[in-house]
């Protein structure tokens, strides 16, 4: 057999026995399996699929029941009314006993009206049990409201968000001078 370009032997034609062919086939398959195993993620090292939390729509009033808690405010003529717990997102960075919370983080806005039925200007500290009270008026963990005698004022306090909370205990103390 005459080869083109003056070649006397075809370098691509190799004569192999059946055993040699089987050996080479096993070697090629093994190399392919090993290279595939090295490039494919192993089930134990694959990160778990991340789930996304479904939040209520911004501004949704949540079915949370307010419960009167501890403190002297109620016996000193302070009344809470129009209480709502509304889902929202932080519109500013805030501090809390657990640390700093960032812009856009889910939270609950605890809003309502405070009425001072006493004859004295009153300072009212408000904090909650059931959800962490975040910063309000630069105070960490509680809110401070000042209410003139025989008047009412609106309040807004940021709380931590938890989808499982159904009641929040409202605690309040009242003072005739700025509390310590």
* Model pTM above 0.75: no
Q: Considering Cα of 32, then 33, then 38, then 43, what sign does the dihedral take?
A: positive
> The CATH number of the domain where 96 resides is what?
2.60.40
Residue 49 lies in a domain: no
pLDDT at 1: 52
Helix intervals (H) in the chain: 18-39
In a domain, 104, yes or no: yes
Q: Which residues pair with 79 in a beta bridge?
A: 115
Sheet architecture: strand order including 167-175: 65-68, 167-175, 122-129, 143-147
Q: How many domains does the chain have?
A: 1
- pLDDT in the model for residue 40: 44
What pLDDT does 28 receive? 62
Nearest CA among 171, 158, 152, 164 for reference residue 85: 158
* Cβ pair 145, 45 in contact under 8 A: no
* Alpha-carbon torsion (147, 141, 99, 62), positive or negative: negative
Handedness of CA 142, 146, 149, 154 (dihedral sign): negative
d(CA 12, CA 20): 16
Range of the domain at 132: 65-175
Question: Does residue 56 form part of some domain?
Answer: no
Per-residue pLDDT of the chain (180 residues), as tens digits, is 554 555 455 555 556 566 566 656 655 655 555 555 444 444 444 455 556 778 999 999 999 999 999 999 989 999 999 999 999 998 877 766 677 777 888 999 999 999 999 999 999 988 888 887 776 555 566 778 889 999 999 988 888 899 999 999 999 999 998 877
Is the residue at 40 inside a domain? no
Residue 13 maps to a domain: no
Q: Is residue 15 part of a domain?
A: no
Q: Is 60 part of any domain?
A: no
């Amino acid at each position: 057999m005459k080869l083109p370009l003056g070649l006397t032997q075809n370098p691509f034609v190799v004569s192999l026995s059946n055993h040699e062919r089987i050996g080479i086939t096993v070697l090629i398959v093994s190399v392919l399996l090993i290279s595939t195993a090295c490039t494919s993620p192993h089930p134990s090292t694959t990160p778990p699929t991340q789930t996304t939390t479904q939040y209520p729509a911004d501004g949704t009033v949540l079915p949370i029941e307010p419960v009167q808690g501890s403190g002297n405010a109620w016996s000193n003529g302070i009344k809470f009314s129009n209480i709502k717990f509304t889902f929202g997102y932080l519109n500013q960075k805030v501090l809390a006993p657990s640390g700093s919370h960032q812009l856009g983080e889910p939270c609950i806005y605890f809003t309502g009206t405070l009425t001072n039925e006493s004859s004295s200007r009153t300072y009212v500290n408000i904090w909650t049990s059931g959800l962490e009270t975040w910063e309000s008026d630069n105070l960490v963990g509680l809110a401070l409201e000042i209410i003139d005698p025989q008047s009412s004022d609106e309040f807004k306090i940021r709380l931590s968000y938890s989808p499982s909370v159904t009641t929040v205990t409202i605690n309040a103390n009242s003072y005739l001078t700025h509390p310590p």
